[in-house]
Amino acid sequence: MAADRRAKTDTLSLRRRLLSSSCRLFFPEDPVKIVRGQGQYLYDEQGAEYIDCINNVAHVGHCHPVVVQAAHDQNQVLNTNSRFLHDNIVDFAQRLSETLPEKLCVFYFLNSGSEANDLALRLARQYTGHQDVVVLDHAYHGHLSSLIDISPYKFRDLDGQKEWVHVAPLPDTYRGPYREDHPNPAEAYATEVKRVITRAQEKGREIAAFFAESLPSVGGQIIPPAGYFPRVAEHIRRAGGVFVADEIQVGFGRVGKHFWAFQLQGEDFVPDIVTMGKSIGNGHPLACVATTQAVARAFEATGVEYFNTFGGSPVSCAVGLAVLDVVEQQQLQAHASCVGSFLMELLRQQKAKHPIIGDIRGTGLFVGVDLVRDEATRTPATEEAEYLVSRLKENYILLSTDGPGRNVLKFKPPMCFSLDNALQVVTKMDAILTNMEEKVRSCKTLRLQP
């Protein structure tokens, strides 16, 4: 607690001296020093309370007492690696299996979403005997070298695209080639994946996997058209590959209608591999890969052991079980559906009022607000989005942006985010946008007139 008494300027100075500048802060011009969290709120060193619209990691709420107690109780008894027989790991695997399609029945536990996606890549390659991967444009799947290579969001600023990586268009019906007026965007975008596969095969490449976030997040809070994943899966499996659904940001009831976001694509759609992270541990370093018996057996056939020092530890699994308990007992999936629908309706009302709001999209507590400089051209309002987020922070609301143009406001708050929170946030957004429009007389620039 001594560090909490350090002046904010001193903390910032130490951070700048001791940490790499590539480890960036939210609101770098005037960062917030957070010393405490509770539920959907964060508190700075002065005691000011902020509504947290950013932290999808604190899935059931910051410092949830049930989760904290579960970790504390297990820490007092035992924490060791998963090579020892223990009830927690099998109890947790069983509970997770009850939320997933029956086919996804083998589990691996890890520390992070990046580790989960790296293992998914290994599983896919071992099962198929192929190396190549198809990904969506602007995708991000993790910070390991293997995952930077399949994350266009990152590799385009680094070494570029590897020959074994093939990029398909993001299924964005607002900005992509097939938009809301297309008669069948799901089929059109799936056909683009088929074309990518065909071009790769013509070069002698063989496809191991298609990786996709079930709801692309850094791509701009995208909701793929229903039916897209099943058609893509047909093309991928026909090419000898498997379908990997990355649920790291959107699983565990966040979408409201379903426990897993991939289920939005239809009851009959089942990925071959599902990866989980972030929300699975409510801030504790925990992740998971779920797959089929066939994929797992192919991995086992190498004779090489899979072991993760901390993955599946008694404490980690106690935390995971507690998170599932809270989601179920507090009916947070239904809550996400209710509050998310209310938030979407409030935002739609703002869209009718403010021309800078080009699109509202989302499901449950996964919502994106696409800001545009021009309704016809849909030019990203990047500067305006940054301005709005900065002004919201000054009003004790923490929100961030994403998307290729950094112009999409992204709502991914803790699942306890309330109706009152939604109303407060949107009311403040309305006031800031109104003031901004009055000052600049348009939505085209933030270069305020004197």
Residue 328 amino acid letter: E
User: Exposure of 325 by Cβ count < 10 A (0-12 exposed, 13-18 middle, 19+ buried)?
Assistant: middle
* Residue 445, in any domain of the structure: no
Instruction: Name the CA radius of gyration of the chain, rounded.
Output: 22
For residue 447, is it within any domain? no
For residue 400 the two structure tokens come to 């961030």
Is residue 450 a part of any domain in this protein? Answer: no
> Strand, coil or helix: what is 366?
strand
Q: How confident is the model at residue 450 (pLDDT cuts 50, 70, 90)?
A: very low
Query: For 71-99, what is each residue's pLDDT tens digit?
Result: 999 999 999 999 999 999 999 999 999 99
Domain-terminating residue out of 290, 314, 329: 329
pLDDT tens column, 210-249:
999 999 999 999 999 999 999 999 999 999 999 999 999 9
- Whole-number Å distance between alpha carbons of 55 and 282: 10
Domain boundary among 312, 329, 346: 329
pLDDT class of 156 with cuts at 50, 70, 90: confident
Co-location of 320 and 292 in the same domain: yes
Are 140 and 255 contained in the same domain?
yes
Separate counts of helices (H) and strands (E) for the chain: 13, 15
pLDDT for residue 142 is more than 70? yes
The continuous run of DSSP H or E covering 429 comes out as: helix 419-440
Q: Are residues 338 and 435 in the same domain?
A: yes
Residues 17 and 123 reside in one and the same domain: no
3-state secondary structure 285-335: CCEEEEECHHHHHHHHCCCCCCCCCCCCCHHHHHHHHHHHHHHHHCCHHHH
Amino acid at 404: P
444: pLDDT strictly greater than 60: no
Structural domain includes residue 448: no
Shared-domain flag, residues 336 and 321: no
Strand partners, 368: 361, 410
pLDDT tens-digit profile of 276-314? 999 999 999 999 999 999 999 999 999 999 999 999 999
Q: Do residues 197 and 335 both lie within one domain?
A: no
What tens digit of pLDDT does each residue of 361-392 get? Answer: 999 999 999 999 998 999 999 999 999 999 99
- Give the ranges where 203-292 is alpha helix by DSSP (H): 228-238
335 and 374 belong to one structural domain: yes
Whole-angstrom distance, CA of residue 142 vs CA of residue 144: 6
Residue 203 lies in a domain: yes
CATH number assigned to the domain comprising residue 416: 3.90.1150.10
Residue 398 lies in domain: 2-63+331-440
Domain final position from 329, 356, 384: 329
**% of the chain beyond a pLDDT of 90:** 93
Termini Cα distance of the chain: 46
The answer on 156 and 122 residing in a single domain is yes
Domain count, the chain: 2
* Local confidence band at 442 (pLDDT 50, 70, 90 cut-offs): low
92 with 201, same domain? yes
191 and 339 inside one domain: no
Mean pLDDT of the chain: 95
Span 124-135, average pLDDT: 98
Four-CA torsion 311, 312, 316, 317, nearest 10 degrees: 160
Bridge partners of 363, per DSSP, are 366
Whether the pLDDT of residue 449 is over 50: the answer is no
Question: Which pairs count as long-range contacts for 5-9, CB under 8 Å and 24+ apart, including other chains?
Answer: 8/33, 8/45
Residue 165 confidence class, pLDDT cut points 50, 70, 90: very high
Give all strands of the β-sheet with 273-276 in edge-to-edge order: 106-110, 287-291, 273-276, 242-246, 207-213, 132-136, 165-168
Question: CB of 250 within 8 A of CB of 278?
Answer: no
Residues 201 and 292 grouped into a single domain: yes
Mean pLDDT computed over 8-32: 93
In a domain, 405, yes or no: yes
Identify the CA nearest to 59 among candidates 415, 399, 335.
415
Residues 351 and 305 in one domain: no
pTM: 0.95
CATH number at residue 189: 3.40.640.10
| Average pLDDT of the segment spanning 158-162 | 89
449 occurs within a structural domain? no
Report if residue 312 sits inside a domain.
yes
